[in-house]
Amino acid sequence: MVRLFVSDLDDTLVYQMNQVCNRDKRALQWLWEQGTDICFASGRFAHRIHHAVRDLEIQYHTASLNGAVLTTKDGVLLHEETFNRTLSKKIYKYISKKHMVHIACAGESRYTVRKNQNYTLFEQGNGLEVIEIEDLHDRLGESIFPSKFFLHGTQDEIARVDHELKDVFGHEAEIVISGPGFVDIMPPGVNKGQALQKLMKHLQVLPHQVACIGDSFNDISMFEVTPHSFSLHHAPACVKQRATHVVKSVEEAVMKLAFL
């Protein structure tokens, strides 16, 4: 029996920023009513996760910022990871030279030194705010403690900068494409999979009692934790190859749990 079901958010459960289809909603509600713990694992901040699933009417755990922050359904903070001072400054100095939207995520806020029209379009398109701080580089690791950096751009730009960042920082940080147009930089060892393992330990569940679903490269680390992994059919081929099952929806994955 599956005791813990973990779902990615964007383009897995949530579409067009904050919409969950009724069939997926009913499937998760039914699963929760059977006594299964639910966790949402996302690159989003926790408060953005809450906003997206506010109509589900269930209790759930969150692994936000790709697992850097892990919180139980009762609001207990199980784990939080941030960059150290030296590395955060080093990374931001590097990404700030890119002609792309580049952002530091800390606490519940997003920061950059100076915004231009690309940031305005990014804010409007994603319904969020980026805060300008002129001396951001100096404040990193001093009064602002980032858990994640990310860059936003075209798919070609992201593919190129993903390889570049892995060459430069791959031995010091986790670099992963989290969705179309986004590459995330996480503290070393931080990913959704390690957050899932911490939650499993807390809940005292074993790998065969866990199922997870996702559609992007930052979900692969979860697939490696449990034998019951589901990829969405629209995921990149290399992501689908790493999952045990390929499905069209969260509802379909929940239906298949009975046959595991």
The answer to whether residue 219 scores a pLDDT higher than 80 is yes
The answer for residues whose C-beta is within 8 angstroms of residue 48's C-beta and 6 or more apart is 42, 64, 128
The answer on 109 and 23 residing in a single domain is no
The H or E element containing residue 252 is helix 250-256
The answer on 70 and 38 residing in a single domain is yes
Average pLDDT over every residue of 244-254: 98
The answer on 99 and 11 residing in a single domain is no
The answer on 226 and 104 residing in a single domain is no
What pLDDT, on the 0 to 100 scale, is given for residue 21? Answer: 94
For 127-150, how does the pLDDT look when each residue is reduced to its tens digit (9 = 90+)?
999 999 999 999 999 999 999 999
What pLDDT, on the 0 to 100 scale, is given for residue 1? Answer: 83
Strand order in the sheet with 101-106: 131-132, 109-112, 101-106, 148-152, 182-186, 174-179
Q: What is the CATH number of the domain that holds 71?
A: 3.40.50.1000
Q: Are strands 210-214 and 4-7 parallel, antiparallel or unpaired?
A: parallel
The answer on 144 and 18 residing in a single domain is no
Phi-psi region of 144 (alpha: psi -120 to 50; beta: other; left: phi over 0): beta
| Residue that finishes a domain, picked among 186, 203, 235 | 186
The answer for residues whose C-beta is within 8 angstroms of residue 234's C-beta and 6 or more apart is 11, 215
Average pLDDT over every residue of 102-123: 96
Task: State the pLDDT confidence band at 258, using cuts at 50, 70 and 90.
Answer: confident
Q: What is the CATH number of the domain that holds 102?
A: 3.30.1240.10
Going by C-alpha positions, the residue among 139, 138, 151, 78 that lies closest to residue 106 is 139
The answer to whether residue 16 scores a pLDDT higher than 90 is no
The answer on 195 and 73 residing in a single domain is yes
Instruction: Report the number of distinct structural domains present in the chain.
Output: 2
For 175-196, how does the pLDDT look when each residue is reduced to its tens digit (9 = 90+)?
999 999 999 999 999 999 999 9
Q: What's the whole-number average pLDDT of the chain?
A: 96
In DSSP notation, 33-70 reads HTT-EEEEE-SS-HHHHHHHTTTS-S--EEEEGGGTEE
What pLDDT, on the 0 to 100 scale, is given for residue 25? Answer: 97
| Residue that finishes a domain, picked among 186, 210, 231 | 186
The answer on 16 and 69 residing in a single domain is yes
User: What residues form DSSP beta bridges with 176?
Assistant: 184
Q: How far apart are CA 163 and CA 107, in angstroms?
A: 28
The answer to whether residue 228 scores a pLDDT higher than 90 is yes
Q: How far apart are CA 70 and CA 72, in angstroms?
A: 7
98, 78 contact by CB (below 8 A) = no
The answer on 56 and 19 residing in a single domain is yes
Q: How many CA atoms lie within 13 A of 136 on its CB side?
A: 26
The answer on 177 and 103 residing in a single domain is yes
The answer on 116 and 54 residing in a single domain is no
The answer to whether residue 17 scores a pLDDT higher than 80 is no
The answer on 196 and 68 residing in a single domain is yes
Domain that holds residue 26: 4-80+190-259
| Residue that finishes a domain, picked among 141, 158, 186 | 186
For 18-38, how does the pLDDT look when each residue is reduced to its tens digit (9 = 90+)?
899 999 999 999 999 999 999
Average pLDDT over every residue of 76-104: 97
The answer on 195 and 163 residing in a single domain is no
The answer for residues whose C-beta is within 8 angstroms of residue 139's C-beta and 6 or more apart is 133
